[in-house]
Chain A
Amino acid sequence: MDDFEKQLKDALTKKDPSPFFEARVLGAVKRQALEHRASSRMWWASAFAAVLLVITGSAWQHERTIREEAAGKDAKARLELALKITSVKLQRISRKVEGI
């Protein structure tokens, strides 16, 4: 029997697993399953947070647009009133001055 055959025989010889091998394997499988579940939960939580952020952001933007539009229309109305008063006064002064 040469060296190669001896090595092959050794390699093919049935060996008993080390103590607690089964428990270690089952533990590792369970740990992997837990990690997978946790990362899956984390993914869903991130996705939910992102969707919530988009909805909140859109609502805030919409609210801001409405407020800005109301303020703009109010400013425009006040500008119209100011220009109306000023124009009427200037027209009356012109009328008076040109009538002299």
Chain B
Amino acid sequence: MKFAIPVMLAVLPLAAQEIKMPVSLDRLAAKASEVVDVSLDGALLQLASRFLSEKDPDEAHVKRLVGGLKGVYVKSFEFEDRDQYKESDVEELRTQLKAPGWARIVSSRSKRNGDNADIYLKTDAGQISGLAIIVTDPRELTIVNIVGSIRPEDIRDLGGHFGIPKIDINPGKNDKKDKEDNR
């Protein structure tokens, strides 16, 4: 019984984070040329939210978005050389995302350049309660875990706002324009 409280305290952060980042990822930081490690729990998100202005439309939009979140965790590694991480480093994560409630909604594989991407959604009683993204390519590994009520398109559509670059998601038009520009 006396161990119950420490065990509960140890499990609580994991429950909040939903997925546990593999320990092996921390070792990759030494090999990476660029590392981004963002870990924002509910309290920090609330604090950050207090500094988002209601008057600025972009910030007000993000503020509303963040209101439904309980955690934002991002780990991103960029390497100078290829194949600095093993598939097994990510496999532990993929296994966690096979748990009930999680569903892979998008999977993109490229044999040509080795770019792979997966988007997972967690639902509870029909409501979205989490989002996970795994992006891998020979020189990059990015893992995103957002806990709370969020739709992928809500974040995707932030492109062009809040200092986030907008990428043209209609490559056909872009390619045509590029070809015309090159003439």
Chain A residues within 8 Å of B, Cβ to Cβ: 68-69, 71-73, 75-76, 78-99
Interface size class for chain B?
35 or more
Query: Which one of B20-28, B81-89, B90-98, B153-161 is at the interface?
Result: B153-161
**In residues 138-169 of chain B, which contact A (Cβ within 8 Å)?**
142, 144, 146, 152-153, 155-159, 162-169
A84, closest chain B residue (CB) = B164
B residues less than 8 Å from A86 (CB atoms): 74, 133, 144, 146, 155
B48 and A98 contacting across the interface, CB-CB below 8 Å: no
A95, closest chain B residue (CB) = B169
B163 and A88 contacting across the interface, CB-CB below 8 Å: no
Does B72 belong to the interface (CB within 8 Å)?
yes
A23 to B115 CA separation, bound complex (whole angstroms): 106
Shortest Cβ gap from A11 to chain B (Å) = 83
B164 and A72 contacting across the interface, CB-CB below 8 Å: no
Interface SS, B side: mixed
A80 to B162 CA separation, bound complex (whole angstroms): 8
What are 11 A-to-B residue pairs whose CB atoms are below 8 Å? A75-B51, A78-B44, A79-B38, A79-B66, A85-B36, A86-B144, A90-B153, A90-B155, A93-B135, A95-B168, A98-B170
Does B62 belong to the interface (CB within 8 Å)?
yes
A residues less than 8 Å from B74 (CB atoms): 81-82, 85-86
A91 and B50 contacting across the interface, CB-CB below 8 Å: no
Chain B residues within 8 Å of A, Cβ to Cβ: 36, 38, 40, 44-45, 47-48, 50-52, 62, 66, 72-74, 76, 106, 108, 110, 115, 117, 119, 133, 135, 142, 144, 146, 152-153, 155-159, 162-172
B residues less than 8 Å from A81 (CB atoms): 36, 38, 74
B residues less than 8 Å from A88 (CB atoms): 159, 164-165, 167
If A72-B50, A80-B162, A82-B74 touch, does A89 touch B144 (CB 8 Å cutoff)? yes
B residues less than 8 Å from A83 (CB atoms): 62, 72, 155, 158, 162, 164
If A76-B51, A79-B66 touch, does A87 touch B164 (CB 8 Å cutoff)? yes
Shortest Cβ gap from A75 to chain B (Å) = 4
A85 to B165 CA separation, bound complex (whole angstroms): 10
Which of B73, B106, B159, B165 has a CB less than 8 Å from the CB of A93? Answer: B106
A residues less than 8 Å from B156 (CB atoms): 87, 90-91, 94
Which of B48, B72, B73, B119 has a CB less than 8 Å from the CB of A90? Answer: B119
A97 to B169 CA separation, bound complex (whole angstroms): 9
A77, closest chain B residue (CB) = B48
B residues less than 8 Å from A73 (CB atoms): 51
Shortest Cβ gap from B59 to chain A (Å) = 9
A90 to B166 CA separation, bound complex (whole angstroms): 11
